[in-house]
Amino acid sequence: MDWLTSFPHMDDDALRALKKMIDESFKSFTRGYGDSIEAFFNPLQHFLIFSERVMTQTPWPIILLVVGAIAWFASRNWKIVAGSVLTLLLIGYFGMWDDTMKTISMIFVCTVLSIVVGIPIGIAMAKSDVMRKIINPILDVMQTMPSFVYLIPVVMLLGIGKVPGLIAVVIYAIPPIIRLTNLGIRLVDPDMLEAADAFGSSSWQKLRKVQMPLALPTIMAGINQTIMMALAMVVIASMIGVQGLGQPVLKAISNQYFTLGMFNGLAIVGIAIIFDRVSQAYGKRLQKHLEVVHG
């Protein structure tokens, strides 16, 4: 009856040999190509450093004015503008301004990178069922893999630092924008595409002038979810050198500093609420505009 209580598995020696072979292969790959991969990501490092420098060295009143202007442009709602500015004022008042600016710069770069990489992949999925069948299982794995696991290959390839943390955050946060770009383009009314065909539009013209504008509210929802997931990854990424609000939280966990962890955790929540409200309001405005134009 042992076979009922003990699940049949690979021989322990064979399993150890398999794991050792995979580990050694990956280590050989990192030794052989690690420097080339690091050089490939150098422009990303410069972009991140530049973004962080701008956010931390710009006087705080200008930052507040810019945030207020962006919130007003996106939402046309004074409550959202006032809430965004007040949240940042409270964060600064409690001494978390610099860490918050570093976190916002990280999220900004992650979002830009996710848009640049994710939207073309989403478009390719919408245009090709074969591509969709290939990429969907990959996205499923990316969304269900424990976030800590992303740190292992990234650290082995690139070591500890800002860029490895950035890449780990992007890998964790990019699936929503890919999925919702694909969904938004696929949900475009076929009648609109037929009308575009009747006017002799090429595939590129249909994509640029019909599909992308109509899919924009859905794509904005994907960007919103990507930002939320990137913020959720900030604390974990701090384990490999990402500066910002995540590092005080990690320090609070290690040393049992309750107030330090709570204050910085609430600051992350505050930033998440600002991004969420502003991006959602902008998505709703786009939706209403499209309904007026096409309705």
pLDDT digits (tens, 9 = 90+) for 149-171: 877 777 777 777 788 888 888 88
Closest CA to 116 of 238, 9, 223: 223
Question: Rounded to whole angstroms, how far apart are CA atoms 238 and 232?
Answer: 11
The answer to whether 181 and 123 have CB atoms below 8 angstroms apart is yes
Which residue has better confidence, 31 or 291? Answer: 31
Contacts of 275 (CB under 8 A, 6+ apart): 107, 224, 227, 228, 231
Going from N- to C-terminal start, the domains of the chain cover 10-40, 41-294
The answer to whether 184 and 216 have CB atoms below 8 angstroms apart is yes
Lowest mean pLDDT among 121-130, 150-159, 164-173, 283-292: 283-292
* Average pLDDT of the chain, as a whole number: 85
Q: What is the pLDDT of residue 119?
A: 93
Residue 180 has pLDDT above 90, yes or no: yes
Region 57-68: what's the mean pLDDT?
A: 93
Q: What is the pLDDT of residues 225-254, one digit of tens each?
A: 999 888 888 878 887 777 888 888 888 888
**21: enclosing H helix or E strand:** helix 12-40
Region 80-100: what's the mean pLDDT?
A: 93
Region 113-134: what's the mean pLDDT?
A: 92
How many percent of the chain have pLDDT more than 90?
33
Question: Rounded to whole angstroms, how far apart are CA atoms 173 and 243?
Answer: 18
Question: Rounded to whole angstroms, how far apart are CA atoms 219 and 114?
Answer: 12
Q: What is the pLDDT of residue 158?
A: 77
Band of residue 204 on the pLDDT scale cut at 50, 70, 90: confident
Residue 152, SS3? helix
Contacts of 173 (CB under 8 A, 6+ apart): 110, 114, 226, 227, 229, 230, 233
Q: What is the pLDDT of residue 295?
A: 54
Residue with tokens 């962080």: 52
Question: Rounded to whole angstroms, how far apart are CA atoms 159 and 151?
Answer: 10
Q: What is the pLDDT of residues 253-271, one digit of tens each?
A: 888 888 888 998 899 999 9
Closest CA to 67 of 211, 293, 270, 216: 270
Region 30-35: what's the mean pLDDT?
A: 76
Q: What CATH code is assigned to 41-294?
A: 1.10.3720.10
Question: Rounded to whole angstroms, how far apart are CA atoms 213 and 81?
Answer: 26
Extended beta strands in the chain, E state = none
Region 119-132: what's the mean pLDDT?
A: 92
Tokens (6 digits) for 180 = 């919702």
The answer to whether 108 and 51 have CB atoms below 8 angstroms apart is yes
**286: enclosing H helix or E strand:** helix 258-294
Region 2-29: what's the mean pLDDT?
A: 76
Q: What is the pLDDT of residue 132?
A: 92
Closest CA to 244 of 87, 104, 134: 104
